[in-house]
Chain A
Amino acid sequence: MAPMKIVALITVIITGGLLLYATGDFPAWGDPLSPANNSALSRHYIEQSRVETAVPNLVTAVLADYRGYDTMFETVVVFVAGLAILAVLGQGTSRERAAIQRSAERYQERDMINIMTARLIVPVLQLFSLYVLAHGHYSPGGGFQGGVMFGASFILIALAGGLPEALSRLSIPGALLLAGLGVLLYGGTGLVCMMLGQNFLDYHILHRLLPATDAVMARYHAMLIVEIGVAFTVTAIMFIIYAALSSRGRMTGGL
Protein backbone atom coordinates (compact mmCIF):
# COMPACT_ATOMS: atom_id res chain seq x y z
CA MET A 1 0.00 0.00 0.00
CA ALA A 2 1.13 3.46 -0.84
CA PRO A 3 2.13 5.62 2.13
CA MET A 4 -0.68 8.04 1.31
CA LYS A 5 -3.21 5.28 1.78
CA ILE A 6 -1.78 4.34 5.15
CA VAL A 7 -1.91 7.95 6.32
CA ALA A 8 -5.48 8.21 5.04
CA LEU A 9 -6.48 4.99 6.74
CA ILE A 10 -5.05 6.09 10.08
CA THR A 11 -6.76 9.49 9.82
CA VAL A 12 -10.06 7.91 8.93
CA ILE A 13 -9.91 5.34 11.72
CA ILE A 14 -9.06 8.00 14.31
CA THR A 15 -11.88 10.23 13.11
CA GLY A 16 -14.34 7.37 13.01
CA GLY A 17 -13.30 6.23 16.47
CA LEU A 18 -13.80 9.71 17.86
CA LEU A 19 -17.23 10.01 16.32
CA LEU A 20 -18.32 6.59 17.55
CA TYR A 21 -16.99 7.47 21.00
CA ALA A 22 -19.22 10.55 21.04
CA THR A 23 -22.35 8.68 19.91
CA GLY A 24 -22.52 7.13 23.39
CA ASP A 25 -23.31 10.56 24.77
CA PHE A 26 -26.18 11.28 22.37
CA PRO A 27 -29.77 11.33 23.54
CA ALA A 28 -31.78 8.25 22.60
CA TRP A 29 -32.62 8.16 18.93
CA GLY A 30 -36.01 9.62 18.10
CA ASP A 31 -36.50 10.97 21.62
CA PRO A 32 -39.02 13.82 21.39
CA LEU A 33 -37.63 15.24 24.63
CA SER A 34 -33.97 15.37 23.59
CA PRO A 35 -32.29 18.78 23.99
CA ALA A 36 -32.44 19.47 20.28
CA ASN A 37 -36.04 18.44 19.78
CA ASN A 38 -37.40 19.97 22.96
CA SER A 39 -35.46 23.22 22.83
CA ALA A 40 -37.29 26.51 23.21
CA LEU A 41 -36.30 27.32 19.64
CA SER A 42 -37.79 24.19 18.12
CA ARG A 43 -40.99 24.46 20.16
CA HIS A 44 -41.35 28.09 19.22
CA TYR A 45 -41.19 27.26 15.53
CA ILE A 46 -43.66 24.40 15.82
CA GLU A 47 -46.18 26.17 18.02
CA GLN A 48 -45.90 29.81 17.06
CA SER A 49 -45.06 29.94 13.36
CA ARG A 50 -48.69 29.31 12.38
CA VAL A 51 -49.69 32.39 14.36
CA GLU A 52 -46.76 34.51 13.28
CA THR A 53 -46.60 33.62 9.60
CA ALA A 54 -49.74 31.60 8.72
CA VAL A 55 -47.64 29.12 6.74
CA PRO A 56 -48.47 25.44 7.37
CA ASN A 57 -45.17 24.11 6.05
CA LEU A 58 -42.87 24.75 8.98
CA VAL A 59 -39.75 24.20 6.90
CA THR A 60 -40.77 26.93 4.48
CA ALA A 61 -41.64 29.27 7.34
CA VAL A 62 -38.30 28.78 9.06
CA LEU A 63 -36.36 28.76 5.81
CA ALA A 64 -37.78 31.90 4.27
CA ASP A 65 -38.59 33.95 7.33
CA TYR A 66 -36.90 33.11 10.62
CA ARG A 67 -33.70 32.02 8.92
CA GLY A 68 -34.29 34.01 5.76
CA TYR A 69 -30.84 35.51 5.96
CA ASP A 70 -29.29 32.07 5.66
CA THR A 71 -31.45 31.33 2.64
CA MET A 72 -30.35 34.54 0.96
CA PHE A 73 -26.79 33.34 1.25
CA GLU A 74 -27.82 29.90 0.04
CA THR A 75 -29.03 31.66 -3.11
CA VAL A 76 -25.76 33.55 -3.25
CA VAL A 77 -23.88 30.23 -2.99
CA VAL A 78 -25.72 28.95 -6.06
CA PHE A 79 -25.01 32.20 -7.84
CA VAL A 80 -21.32 31.99 -6.92
CA ALA A 81 -21.15 28.42 -8.19
CA GLY A 82 -22.50 29.35 -11.60
CA LEU A 83 -20.17 32.29 -11.98
CA ALA A 84 -17.22 30.33 -10.66
CA ILE A 85 -17.77 27.61 -13.23
CA LEU A 86 -18.03 30.14 -16.03
CA ALA A 87 -14.90 31.90 -14.78
CA VAL A 88 -12.91 28.68 -14.47
CA LEU A 89 -13.93 27.20 -17.80
CA GLY A 90 -14.04 30.41 -19.80
CA GLN A 91 -16.94 31.46 -21.91
CA GLY A 92 -17.34 31.19 -25.64
CA THR A 93 -19.61 34.15 -26.26
CA SER A 94 -18.47 34.82 -29.81
CA ARG A 95 -18.79 31.22 -30.84
CA GLU A 96 -22.14 30.95 -29.18
CA ARG A 97 -24.00 32.68 -31.97
CA ALA A 98 -22.39 30.51 -34.62
CA ALA A 99 -23.33 27.45 -32.62
CA ILE A 100 -26.95 28.44 -32.39
CA GLN A 101 -27.01 28.94 -36.15
CA ARG A 102 -25.83 25.41 -36.64
CA SER A 103 -28.43 24.07 -34.27
CA ALA A 104 -30.98 23.37 -37.01
CA GLU A 105 -28.87 20.70 -38.66
CA ARG A 106 -27.74 19.26 -35.31
CA TYR A 107 -31.35 18.92 -34.36
CA GLN A 108 -31.86 16.62 -37.32
CA GLU A 109 -28.99 14.36 -36.31
CA ARG A 110 -30.46 13.68 -32.90
CA ASP A 111 -32.49 10.64 -32.04
CA MET A 112 -36.13 11.16 -32.88
CA ILE A 113 -37.44 9.17 -29.93
CA ASN A 114 -35.49 11.25 -27.43
CA ILE A 115 -36.70 14.48 -28.94
CA MET A 116 -40.33 13.46 -29.02
CA THR A 117 -40.19 12.19 -25.44
CA ALA A 118 -38.57 15.40 -24.29
CA ARG A 119 -41.25 17.41 -26.06
CA LEU A 120 -43.88 15.49 -24.16
CA ILE A 121 -42.18 15.75 -20.80
CA VAL A 122 -40.84 19.31 -20.79
CA PRO A 123 -44.19 21.17 -20.61
CA VAL A 124 -45.43 18.90 -17.84
CA LEU A 125 -42.16 19.26 -15.98
CA GLN A 126 -42.25 23.04 -16.20
CA LEU A 127 -45.86 23.21 -15.12
CA PHE A 128 -45.17 20.90 -12.21
CA SER A 129 -42.15 22.94 -11.15
CA LEU A 130 -44.31 26.07 -11.08
CA TYR A 131 -46.77 24.19 -8.90
CA VAL A 132 -43.97 23.12 -6.57
CA LEU A 133 -42.82 26.70 -6.32
CA ALA A 134 -46.24 28.18 -5.73
CA HIS A 135 -47.43 25.46 -3.38
CA GLY A 136 -44.33 25.48 -1.20
CA HIS A 137 -46.26 27.04 1.67
CA TYR A 138 -48.58 24.03 1.91
CA SER A 139 -46.58 21.04 0.75
CA PRO A 140 -42.96 19.97 0.41
CA GLY A 141 -41.25 22.17 -2.10
CA GLY A 142 -40.57 25.82 -2.59
CA GLY A 143 -38.29 28.03 -4.57
CA PHE A 144 -35.27 25.84 -4.54
CA GLN A 145 -36.93 22.59 -5.58
CA GLY A 146 -39.10 24.34 -8.16
CA GLY A 147 -36.08 26.12 -9.56
CA VAL A 148 -34.04 22.94 -9.84
CA MET A 149 -36.88 21.26 -11.71
CA PHE A 150 -37.34 24.20 -14.04
CA GLY A 151 -33.62 24.19 -14.71
CA ALA A 152 -33.81 20.44 -15.25
CA SER A 153 -36.36 20.98 -18.01
CA PHE A 154 -33.78 23.02 -19.91
CA ILE A 155 -31.19 20.35 -19.21
CA LEU A 156 -33.58 17.82 -20.67
CA ILE A 157 -33.95 19.89 -23.82
CA ALA A 158 -30.17 20.07 -24.06
CA LEU A 159 -29.81 16.33 -23.55
CA ALA A 160 -32.37 15.46 -26.18
CA GLY A 161 -31.95 18.15 -28.79
CA GLY A 162 -28.37 19.30 -28.24
CA LEU A 163 -27.02 22.21 -26.23
CA PRO A 164 -27.56 24.87 -28.95
CA GLU A 165 -31.22 23.97 -28.99
CA ALA A 166 -31.45 24.75 -25.27
CA LEU A 167 -29.25 27.83 -25.57
CA SER A 168 -31.57 29.24 -28.20
CA ARG A 169 -34.28 29.20 -25.53
CA LEU A 170 -32.17 30.46 -22.62
CA SER A 171 -28.85 32.01 -23.59
CA ILE A 172 -25.96 32.30 -21.17
CA PRO A 173 -26.13 36.11 -20.85
CA GLY A 174 -29.86 35.79 -20.40
CA ALA A 175 -29.41 33.17 -17.73
CA LEU A 176 -26.85 35.32 -15.91
CA LEU A 177 -29.26 38.22 -15.99
CA LEU A 178 -32.00 35.98 -14.59
CA ALA A 179 -29.69 34.76 -11.85
CA GLY A 180 -28.75 38.31 -10.91
CA LEU A 181 -32.40 39.34 -10.87
CA GLY A 182 -33.22 36.43 -8.59
CA VAL A 183 -30.70 37.49 -5.96
CA LEU A 184 -31.81 41.09 -6.47
CA LEU A 185 -35.43 40.12 -5.82
CA TYR A 186 -34.43 38.46 -2.56
CA GLY A 187 -32.06 41.15 -1.39
CA GLY A 188 -34.35 43.87 -2.69
CA THR A 189 -37.24 42.60 -0.57
CA GLY A 190 -35.00 42.91 2.43
CA LEU A 191 -33.86 46.32 1.34
CA VAL A 192 -37.44 47.55 0.97
CA CYS A 193 -38.08 46.47 4.55
CA MET A 194 -35.05 48.53 5.56
CA MET A 195 -36.31 51.55 3.66
CA LEU A 196 -39.61 51.32 5.48
CA GLY A 197 -37.68 51.67 8.71
CA GLN A 198 -37.35 48.08 9.90
CA ASN A 199 -34.42 45.73 10.03
CA PHE A 200 -33.21 43.86 6.96
CA LEU A 201 -35.65 41.09 5.90
CA ASP A 202 -38.24 42.08 8.51
CA TYR A 203 -41.16 41.40 6.19
CA HIS A 204 -44.06 42.41 8.41
CA ILE A 205 -43.66 46.06 7.50
CA LEU A 206 -44.46 45.20 3.89
CA HIS A 207 -48.17 45.30 4.69
CA ARG A 208 -47.92 48.98 3.92
CA LEU A 209 -47.09 48.15 0.33
CA LEU A 210 -48.95 44.91 -0.31
CA PRO A 211 -52.68 45.47 -0.71
CA ALA A 212 -55.17 43.85 1.68
CA THR A 213 -52.67 42.31 4.07
CA ASP A 214 -51.98 42.56 7.75
CA ALA A 215 -48.59 42.10 9.37
CA VAL A 216 -48.94 38.31 9.38
CA MET A 217 -50.08 37.94 5.78
CA ALA A 218 -47.34 40.36 4.68
CA ARG A 219 -44.83 37.79 5.90
CA TYR A 220 -46.73 35.07 4.09
CA HIS A 221 -46.64 36.91 0.79
CA ALA A 222 -43.10 38.18 1.16
CA MET A 223 -42.01 34.58 1.60
CA LEU A 224 -43.54 33.76 -1.77
CA ILE A 225 -41.71 36.70 -3.33
CA VAL A 226 -38.33 35.62 -2.02
CA GLU A 227 -39.00 32.01 -3.03
CA ILE A 228 -39.62 33.24 -6.57
CA GLY A 229 -36.28 35.02 -6.40
CA VAL A 230 -34.60 31.81 -5.29
CA ALA A 231 -36.30 29.94 -8.13
CA PHE A 232 -35.04 32.44 -10.73
CA THR A 233 -31.46 32.11 -9.60
CA VAL A 234 -31.55 28.34 -9.24
CA THR A 235 -33.19 27.78 -12.62
CA ALA A 236 -30.62 29.91 -14.40
CA ILE A 237 -27.59 28.59 -12.57
CA MET A 238 -28.52 24.90 -12.85
CA PHE A 239 -28.74 25.36 -16.58
CA ILE A 240 -25.47 27.33 -16.70
CA ILE A 241 -23.69 24.63 -14.71
CA TYR A 242 -24.88 21.94 -17.07
CA ALA A 243 -24.20 23.99 -20.20
CA ALA A 244 -20.66 24.85 -19.13
CA LEU A 245 -19.74 21.40 -17.87
CA SER A 246 -21.20 19.48 -20.80
CA SER A 247 -19.23 21.52 -23.34
CA ARG A 248 -16.05 22.35 -21.41
CA GLY A 249 -17.19 25.96 -21.42
CA ARG A 250 -17.29 26.22 -25.21
CA MET A 251 -21.07 26.22 -25.28
CA THR A 252 -21.27 24.16 -28.44
CA GLY A 253 -22.10 20.54 -29.13
CA GLY A 254 -22.85 19.09 -25.73
CA LEU A 255 -23.26 15.47 -24.85
Chain B
Amino acid sequence: MIAVFDICILIFLVAIAIIALSVKDLLASAMILGIYSFLMCLLWAEMGAVDVAFTEAAVGAGVSTVIMIATVYQTSRKSSD
Protein backbone atom coordinates (compact mmCIF):
# COMPACT_ATOMS: atom_id res chain seq x y z
CA MET B 1 0.00 0.00 0.00
CA ILE B 2 1.90 3.01 -1.26
CA ALA B 3 -0.20 6.13 -0.88
CA VAL B 4 1.45 8.27 -3.57
CA PHE B 5 1.29 5.49 -6.15
CA ASP B 6 -2.32 4.90 -5.25
CA ILE B 7 -3.34 8.53 -5.63
CA CYS B 8 -1.47 8.97 -8.92
CA ILE B 9 -3.16 5.97 -10.51
CA LEU B 10 -6.58 7.05 -9.29
CA ILE B 11 -6.16 10.49 -10.87
CA PHE B 12 -4.95 8.91 -14.09
CA LEU B 13 -7.95 6.62 -14.09
CA VAL B 14 -10.43 9.49 -14.00
CA ALA B 15 -8.58 11.32 -16.75
CA ILE B 16 -8.42 8.24 -18.96
CA ALA B 17 -12.08 7.40 -18.40
CA ILE B 18 -13.04 10.89 -19.56
CA ILE B 19 -10.74 10.69 -22.59
CA ALA B 20 -12.06 7.26 -23.57
CA LEU B 21 -15.57 8.65 -23.60
CA SER B 22 -14.81 11.92 -25.37
CA VAL B 23 -12.71 10.83 -28.37
CA LYS B 24 -14.70 10.62 -31.59
CA ASP B 25 -12.72 7.73 -33.01
CA LEU B 26 -14.13 4.47 -31.64
CA LEU B 27 -10.96 2.54 -32.34
CA ALA B 28 -9.04 4.99 -30.18
CA SER B 29 -11.76 4.77 -27.56
CA ALA B 30 -11.41 0.99 -27.42
CA MET B 31 -7.63 1.21 -27.13
CA ILE B 32 -7.85 3.79 -24.37
CA LEU B 33 -10.28 1.55 -22.54
CA GLY B 34 -7.58 -1.10 -22.67
CA ILE B 35 -5.19 1.33 -20.97
CA TYR B 36 -7.87 2.07 -18.39
CA SER B 37 -8.24 -1.63 -17.62
CA PHE B 38 -4.51 -2.06 -17.34
CA LEU B 39 -4.16 0.84 -14.90
CA MET B 40 -7.02 -0.61 -12.90
CA CYS B 41 -5.15 -3.91 -12.82
CA LEU B 42 -2.02 -2.16 -11.49
CA LEU B 43 -4.09 -0.51 -8.80
CA TRP B 44 -5.59 -3.78 -7.67
CA ALA B 45 -2.22 -5.51 -7.63
CA GLU B 46 -1.01 -2.69 -5.43
CA MET B 47 -3.98 -3.20 -3.11
CA GLY B 48 -3.06 -6.86 -2.64
CA ALA B 49 -5.77 -8.28 -4.86
CA VAL B 50 -3.40 -10.28 -7.04
CA ASP B 51 -5.92 -12.74 -8.40
CA VAL B 52 -8.32 -9.97 -9.36
CA ALA B 53 -5.49 -8.03 -11.00
CA PHE B 54 -4.39 -11.09 -12.95
CA THR B 55 -7.91 -11.68 -14.19
CA GLU B 56 -8.39 -8.06 -15.13
CA ALA B 57 -5.11 -8.08 -17.05
CA ALA B 58 -6.16 -11.15 -19.00
CA VAL B 59 -9.82 -10.23 -19.46
CA GLY B 60 -10.18 -6.47 -19.24
CA ALA B 61 -6.98 -5.38 -20.91
CA GLY B 62 -6.76 -8.42 -23.18
CA VAL B 63 -9.91 -10.08 -24.40
CA SER B 64 -12.34 -7.17 -23.87
CA THR B 65 -10.15 -4.83 -25.87
CA VAL B 66 -9.75 -7.32 -28.67
CA ILE B 67 -13.46 -8.05 -29.01
CA MET B 68 -14.27 -4.36 -28.83
CA ILE B 69 -11.79 -3.60 -31.62
CA ALA B 70 -13.24 -6.51 -33.59
CA THR B 71 -16.69 -4.94 -33.30
CA VAL B 72 -15.43 -1.51 -34.28
CA TYR B 73 -13.73 -3.09 -37.27
CA GLN B 74 -16.93 -4.86 -38.30
CA THR B 75 -19.15 -1.81 -37.87
CA SER B 76 -18.17 1.82 -38.11
CA ARG B 77 -15.30 3.70 -36.60
CA LYS B 78 -16.91 7.12 -36.44
CA SER B 79 -18.93 8.30 -33.51
CA SER B 80 -21.09 11.41 -33.41
CA ASP B 81 -20.23 12.18 -29.80
Q: Do A and B come into direct contact in the complex, CB within 8 Å?
A: yes
Contacts from A to B (Cβ < 8 Å): 30, 57, 59-60, 140-142, 144-145, 148-149, 151-152, 155, 159, 238, 241-242, 245-248, 255
Q: Are A255 and B70 closer than 8 Å at their CB atoms?
A: yes
* Residues 38 to 71 of chain B near chain A (Cβ within 8 Å): 50-51, 53-55, 58-59, 62-63, 66-67, 69-71
Chain B residues with CB below 8 A from A148, complex form:
55, 58-59, 62-63
Q: Are A255 and B51 closer than 8 Å at their CB atoms?
A: no
In addition to A140-B54, A155-B66, 8 A-B residue pairs with Cβ atoms within 8 Å of each other are: A59-B51, A141-B51, A159-B66, A242-B70, A245-B71, A255-B69, A255-B70, A255-B73
Q: Are B50 and A246 closer than 8 Å at their CB atoms?
A: no
Chain A residues with CB below 8 A from B71, complex form:
245
Chain A residues with CB below 8 A from B55, complex form:
144-145, 148
Bound Cα distance from A144 to B60, whole angstroms: 13
User: Which of B51, B53, B69 has the most C-beta atoms of chain A within 10 angstroms of its own C-beta?
Assistant: B51
Chain B residues with CB below 8 A from A159, complex form:
66
Q: Are B67 and A242 closer than 8 Å at their CB atoms?
A: yes
Given A140-B51, A145-B58, A238 and B63 touching (CB < 8 A)?
A: yes
Q: Are A245 and B74 closer than 8 Å at their CB atoms?
A: yes
Q: Are B73 and A152 closer than 8 Å at their CB atoms?
A: no
- Kindly provide the distance from the CB of A65 to the nearest chain B CB, expressed in whole angstroms: 15
In the complex, whether B1 has a CB less than 8 A from a CB of chain A is: yes
Give the residue name and chain of the B residue nearest to A248 (CB): B74
Bound Cα distance from A74 to B53, whole angstroms: 18
Q: Are A149 and B58 closer than 8 Å at their CB atoms?
A: yes
Pick the contact of A241 from B1, B53, B54, B63 — CB < 8 Å?
Answer: B63
Bound Cα distance from A247 to B59, whole angstroms: 20
Give the residue name and chain of the B residue nearest to A136 (CB): B51
Q: List 17 A-B contacts (CB under 8 A).
A: A30-B1, A59-B51, A140-B51, A140-B54, A142-B51, A145-B54, A148-B58, A152-B58, A152-B62, A152-B63, A159-B66, A238-B63, A242-B70, A245-B70, A246-B74, A247-B74, A255-B73
Chain A residues with CB below 8 A from B70, complex form:
242, 245-246, 255
Give the residue name and chain of the B residue nearest to A2 (CB): B81
- Kindly provide the distance from the CB of A88 to the nearest chain B CB, expressed in whole angstroms: 12
* Residues 1 to 53 of chain B near chain A (Cβ within 8 Å): 1, 50-51, 53
Chain B residues with CB below 8 A from A142, complex form:
51
Chain B residues with CB below 8 A from A246, complex form:
67, 70, 73-74
Bound Cα distance from A144 to B74, whole angstroms: 28
